[in-house]
A and B are shown apart, each in its own frame.
Chain A
């Protein structure tokens, strides 16, 4: 019946018990991937650097979700919940970026790569930096330092 089906299936799925070796393998893979991403990150690859970093991060994240969080054994709703939330994150970011990329150029923040306007000078007085922030605080900072 209704109750039995879903919960029983779940219990059945979760019954599997693996040796600790599997966790060790995943751990080592995660560490290796971290080193790889640091290495490629330091090369400052021009165009696909971000993409590569995100792909590596996604692989790591998938490993954590599937094996540490046992998503590989979960079925049904648990997977759906996780999948849907990831999909919504992607769509939220996607739609928002689409807006910035296709907007009337002057409507983007000045100084950005999608705007033809110069960045705003925050206060023309000499004590403030061009991108905002107070020289005064800086002086205080130096005093503390010295």
Chain B
């Protein structure tokens, strides 16, 4: 089957002619097979794949830390490690998962791979900068890992002063590593914004861009505007730790709450860096698998920008009980509610997309269902903890831990896995085993719930986060959570096995979903410059599944 078989407009089918002379145009995977051709490539697709290798590796590292934490919390007292080790492990779990996995996961892997394909461009605007961002990321990761191996740090990933300024653990290299990774994030963000502005192919107007592009665009805006602030802050804390620079030195009039303001000015929007691309992925997938245009395209597009903008000014809700003023709590409380509304709009429109659609319940769609669940409950618990008085008992308990794992891990992991399955044929031209896909999706969705629903409850009961030992009354729920975590781990192992198998022995496919996203209009895997021949044009909007015979009369501009 060719990707173009159901496309009405011939102008939009660069893949069509590509199919015939396949032999003359090697895919990006086979165009150059030396190690050097990979390491020094400027092809956005290869950079995306290299990001994938590293990001998955760090996901494994972070995941192992997570399992260690869960095993330690099986019993109220010490289980497998001492308190110092535990404090380091949860810090490294946070640092690795956030800076090395969550932030680059979807933008740097799928964004890099898909953005130019979805815009009909040959590459991103600055291909060499793109490669540089990969190596900057690796340099930062190297620094951070070196710091971890040299003792690690025990501050928690939030690095709150004055603790981070005084602790004897190796804070500086890890902070500096995170600072360097920030540059990588900025470079990727700049590249995506410029690409979206300048590289759109003829026919792709702003409101005909795939929603994934909108989401990446909004994400990039956050990356560019927020990351420098944390960069500066990390430098200041490093200087404080190494040289006692004194910017937040309490004894000399410095204010630790000011640190928290600057920290959350980045770290709250950073949550949207993690989750907005997930929203983008899911907009694509719900369209492709229900064969429908997205319900309320503009509402979804604008709400991405709305989240990016308003999300910046809700940071104070992390500080309701930190000594911040009551007045500020009120202001940030209202803004938090607005962010919630933007997310609600998206959820309603995704569900609306299915209306009068044609749903195929395959693996990516199964993840969409999980995603919907985690977004609704993660989002609503977010609104709950953002409700000022409710945050007082919940702040810094396991309820908050469960909440942010639901929204920024649950939703993002669902999207990450959905994207991995949905675009696996696009990336490698191979198909995985659908049955195993559904089985592992079930394991992961159930495992995730089994891990974190008990954490909501133990948080309700009052268990604070970052506890090495805890009163015995919390044990039952902690055991339940650990059991769930093992289920989750098992699900990931299944995925790793069958995807690796599919990579080698998978069936050759081109567009197994019959999807009409722009990225499917070229062959799978795509050739080096994404399409062969002259610049294609895109007369139809993406995901246009209307019967061409009916299309004439029915569709007017949205």
User: Which A residues contact B (CB, under 8 angstroms)?
Assistant: 1-4, 6-7, 77, 84-85, 88, 91-92, 95-96, 98-104, 107-112, 119-120, 122, 131-132
Contact = CB atoms under 8 A, between A and B. Distances in A.
B325 A99 contact: yes
A3 B120 CA distance: 11
Interface string B282-324: 0000000000000000000000000000001101100000011
Q: Is the interface of A mostly helix, strand, loop or mixed?
A: helix
B253 A111 contact: yes
A109 B313 contact: no
A77 B197 contact: yes
A12 to B, nearest CB: 15
B241 to A, nearest CB: 18
A122 B251 contact: yes
B272 to A, nearest CB: 14
Nearest to B203: A1
A122 B205 CA distance: 63
A87 B328 CA distance: 19
Nearest to B258: A96
Interface residues of B, number: 38
A88 B225 contact: yes
A109 B323 contact: no
A7 B328 contact: no
Contact of B254 (A77, A103, A109, A122): A109
B261 A95 contact: yes
Contact of A103 (B198, B205, B312, B323): B323
B205 A2 contact: yes
A102 B204 contact: no
Contacts of B205: 2
Contacts of A77: 197
A84 B225 CA distance: 9
Nearest to B319: A99
A102 B257 CA distance: 14
A99 B261 contact: yes
A117 to B, nearest CB: 11
Contacts of B328: 95, 98-99, 102
Nearest to B326: A102
A2 B202 contact: yes
Interface string B392-408: 00000000000000000
Interface string B360-378: 0000000000000000000
A127 B201 CA distance: 71
A131 B252 contact: yes
A97 B316 CA distance: 13
Across the A-B interface, the 6 shortest Cβ-Cβ residue pairs: A1-B202, A102-B325, A103-B325, A102-B327, A2-B200, A107-B323
Contacts of B197: 6, 77
A2 to B, nearest CB: 4
Contacts of B250: 109, 120
Contacts of A107: 257, 323
A119 B202 CA distance: 65
Nearest to B221: A84
B438 interface: no
Contact of A112 (B206, B225, B253, B332): B253
Contacts of B82: none
Contacts of B261: 95-96, 99
Interface in B167-220: 197-206
Contacts, number: 83
26 contacts: A1-B201, A1-B202, A2-B202, A2-B203, A2-B206, A4-B202, A85-B225, A88-B312, A91-B313, A92-B229, A95-B316, A96-B258, A98-B325, A98-B327, A99-B257, A99-B324, A103-B324, A104-B323, A104-B325, A107-B257, A108-B255, A110-B253, A119-B253, A122-B252, A131-B253, A132-B246
Interface in B261-289: 261-262, 265
Given A1-B537, A2-B204, A104-B325, A91 B312 contact: yes
B476 interface: no
A2 B518 CA distance: 15
A3 B199 contact: yes
A120 to B, nearest CB: 5
A110 B331 CA distance: 25
Given A99-B328, A120-B251, A3 B200 contact: yes
A103 B253 CA distance: 16
Contacts of A2: 200-206
Contacts of A120: 250-251
Given A2-B204, A2-B205, 6 more contacts: A92-B229, A92-B265, A95-B313, A96-B261, A102-B325, A102-B326
B60 to A, nearest CB: 36
A84 B446 CA distance: 42
A143 to B, nearest CB: 23
Nearest to B208: A2
Contact of A95 (B323, B326, B331): B331
A7 B331 CA distance: 40
A3 B313 contact: no
Nearest to B254: A109
Contacts of A91: 312-313
Contact of B201 (A3, A96, A98): A3
Contacts of A99: 257, 261, 316, 324-325, 328
Contact of A109 (B225, B255, B327): B255
A108 to B, nearest CB: 8
B326 A132 contact: no
A76 to B, nearest CB: 8
A37 to B, nearest CB: 26
Contacts of A104: 323, 325-326
B252 A132 contact: yes
Nearest to A92: B265
A3 B209 CA distance: 13
A26 B220 CA distance: 35
A138 B139 CA distance: 41
B9 to A, nearest CB: 15
A88 B262 CA distance: 13
B154 to A, nearest CB: 26
Contacts of B262: 96
Nearest to B204: A2
Contacts of B253: 109-112, 119, 131
